[in-house]
């Protein structure tokens, strides 16, 4: 059996090798790549004879999946799998597992870090101090008493909701599946957008959710409202959001995800939009989260080998 980590998983190589060795048969071959592949040809070369491939957010197209001739299990070091050619995996009978839950705390932390930075104007405060200025013009806003809208109440959304409640926010939620959670009132998306001071997105990217926040939805939001997106970039029409910010039709945006992975092209409209806090897709990227996801990736392999697969997205 051959196990290939087709790209780096963000932890020390020796730690990942030890985790993989514990999960695999003693005679298994373990190959760990230290760089991301530049193209499909290189990905196929790396994975051609692998029985199990571990990958993070490296896109794996149908061409790559079909070129990995021995592949039986894909263990994805990510929650979302919209970058994987699932149809090709299905046609070849390849089991696909994700790493649900590894970044719950990390992403929720970032939501409030970005939000507080925006509401308290922390970047501007730093600039003022370095320029010898005072707090003039730097009066911010509190979270307490705000209506906080959570779109999607999976693990991350629920954690964000709980933290928002701890800040003293009134929490509203919109989700395909409603849950009986104290302190959360479910409502429709139009109402949530129209009454909330803060709207935070926590849904996966699917055909139904792509573009779910466009010009029409932004038009429902309050002029002082803030949109937070730490989920997937294509959930939001970036050009419409940038235009709404430039025209002062919403109060601000905190964005960690875009239509493309950073580095962004110079024509990305949000780069020039006012009242924004931007990050280069770091929501999942903490030392603790990266270690947790490597454990999940290798445990997925162990459970699959034992005939009790976990975190199955497709089989």
Tell me whether residue 202 is one of the annotated catalytic residues.
Answer: no
Cα separation, 308 vs 181, whole angstroms: 30
The CA dihedral of 162, 168, 173, 177, to the nearest 10 degrees, is: 30
Tell me whether residue 281 is one of the annotated catalytic residues.
Answer: yes
Q: Which of 83, 162, 281, 302 is catalytic?
A: 281
First to last CA, the chain: 19
SS3 11: coil
Cα separation, 277 vs 254, whole angstroms: 5
Q: Which of 261, 266, 302, 315 is catalytic?
A: 261
Q: Which of 232, 239, 249, 266 is catalytic?
A: 232
Nearest C-alpha neighbor of 193 from the set 162, 159, 168, 216? 216
Interacting residues of 306 by C-beta distance below 8 A, sequence separation 6+ = none
Interacting residues of 216 by C-beta distance below 8 A, sequence separation 6+ = none
Nearest C-alpha neighbor of 112 from the set 283, 274, 281, 248? 283
Q: Which string of DSSP letters, residue by residue, matches 37-58?
A: -SSHHHHHHHHTT-SEEEESS-
Cα separation, 94 vs 51, whole angstroms: 10
Tell me whether residue 232 is one of the annotated catalytic residues.
Answer: yes
Contact 258, 264 (CB under 8 A): yes
Residue 41 is encoded by which pair of tokens? 């040809």
Q: Is the dihedral of CA 81, 85, 91, 95 positive or negative?
A: negative
Residues classed as catalytic: 232, 261, 281
């Amino acid at each position: 059996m051959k196990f290939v980590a087709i790209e780096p998983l963000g932890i020390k190589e020796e730690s990942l090798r030890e985790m993989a060795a514990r999960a695999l048969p003693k005679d298994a071959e373990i190959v760990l790549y230290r760089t991301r592949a530049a193209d499909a040809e290189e990905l196929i070369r790396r994975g051609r004879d692998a029985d199990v491939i571990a990958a993070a957010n490296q896109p794996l197209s149908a061409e790559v999946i079909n070129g990995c001739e021995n592949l039986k299990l894909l263990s994805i070091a990510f929650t979302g799998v919209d970058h994987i050619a699932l149809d090709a995996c299905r046609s070849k009978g390849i089991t696909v597992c994700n790493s649900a839950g590894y970044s719950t705390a990390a992403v929720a932390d970032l939501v409030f870090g970005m939000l507080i930075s925006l509401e308290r104007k922390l970047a501007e405060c730093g600039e003022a101090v370095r320029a010898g200025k005072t707090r003039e013009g730097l009066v911010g806003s509190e979270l307490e008493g705000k209506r906080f809208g959570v779109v999607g109440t999976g693990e991350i959304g629920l954690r964000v909701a709980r933290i928002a409640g701890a800040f003293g926010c009134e929490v509203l939620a919109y989700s395909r599946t409603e849950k009986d959670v104290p302190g959360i009132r479910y409502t429709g998306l139009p109402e949530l957008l129209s009454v909330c001071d803060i709207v935070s997105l926590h849904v996966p990217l699917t055909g139904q959710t792509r573009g779910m926040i466009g010009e029409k939805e932004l038009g429902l939001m309050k002029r002082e409202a803030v949109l937070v997106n730490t989920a997937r970039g294509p959930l939001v029409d970036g050009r419409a959001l940038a235009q709404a910010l430039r025209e002062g039709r919403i109060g601000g945006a905190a964005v960690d995800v875009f239509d493309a992975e950073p580095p962004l092209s110079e024509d990305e409209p949000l780069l020039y939009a006012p009242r924004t806090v931007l990050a280069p897709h770091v929501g999942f990227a903490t030392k603790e989260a990266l270690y947790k996801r490597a454990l999940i990736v290798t445990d997925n392999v162990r459970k699959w080998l034992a005939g009790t697969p976990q975190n199955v997205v497709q089989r």
